[in-house]
Amino acid sequence: MRAVFVLLSLLLSPSWAAAQTFVVQGSTTFTHRVMEPYQGAIEAASGHKLTVVPNKSSLGLLALFDKRSDFAMISGPLANEIARLKPEHPELAFDRLRAFEIWSTRMAFAVNENNPVRRLTSEQMRAILLGTITNWREVGGSDLPIRVVHVRDGGGVQASIEQELLDGKSMQAREPIAVQISSQVVKIVEQMPEGLGLSQLSIVKSASVAELKLDTDVEQHLTLVTLGDPSPAMQKVIDAAREIASTAFE
């Protein structure tokens, strides 16, 4: 009888539990930075399989509510994503969302290599993004209009900058240029002396642009979101993703 009890205990223990397959939808930034390079390692460490569907942070959250996904990937503050979704979906139980930060990365502002401006204060950048400062001449540069380049429909980079640098206010820069994906931001700035790109440090460093530094850092947070508290199996996926990201991105 004792042998049967021990065998049942082993079969019911986490190490013997059958692997589950979880659907993960949302941010393409999260996908590119975490899932594409490390999905296999996360699956091996957690003991569970993942089906990854890259689209947008907001679509990942809606998929949670529709039970088409087990996790949402977001690349900006959850509060900002909720604020965008609430007007069109007031019936959703946003208070049930649980956020688990996996990794954070520093935002960077890209400028054309011919732009002499290389450093601004946070106050100056706030004034640019809110539309108060509109010409590079006002911050020591050439007599050119400032054209902010960003990913259309918000995106995690813009949401993080609005939350951390603009105290939650929406960007109001004059005549901004909106592009489809983050890699296009630096491509536009490479060609435009008046451009100011909202991007990530890793993307800026790998492109033929210069970084415009501030006196304070702005970070973007990559987060997994669940609807309600995660199950023990889902928690293993979260823990594995955090551990692997913390090691891989040191």
pLDDT digits (tens, 9 = 90+) for 107-124: 899 999 999 999 999 999
Residue 67, in any domain of the structure: yes
**What CATH number corresponds to the domain at position 80?**
3.40.190.10
In this predicted structure, what is the pLDDT of residue 32?
85
Token pair recorded at residue 13 = 């223990």
Angle between helices 232-248 and 36-46 (to 10 degrees): 130
| Domain around 25 | 20-104+221-248
Same domain (yes/no): 231, 159 = no
CB 214 within 8 A of CB 109: yes
Same domain, residue pair 243 and 198: no
What's this model's pTM, rounded to 2 decimal places? Answer: 0.70
Query: Cα 189 to chain center, whole Å?
Result: 21
Residues of the chain with pLDDT below 70 are 1-17, 153-155, 249-250
Tell me: do 49 and 89 sit in the same domain.
Answer: yes
> How many domains does one find in the chain?
2
Is 230 found in the same domain as 152?
Answer: no
Please tell me whether residues 141 and 210 are part of one structural domain.
Answer: yes
Nearest to 72 by CA among 89, 53, 94, 92: 53
Both tokens of 171, joined, read 């960007």
What is the model's pLDDT at position 154?
Answer: 59
* pLDDT the model gives residue 92: 97
Residue 79 counted as domain residue: yes
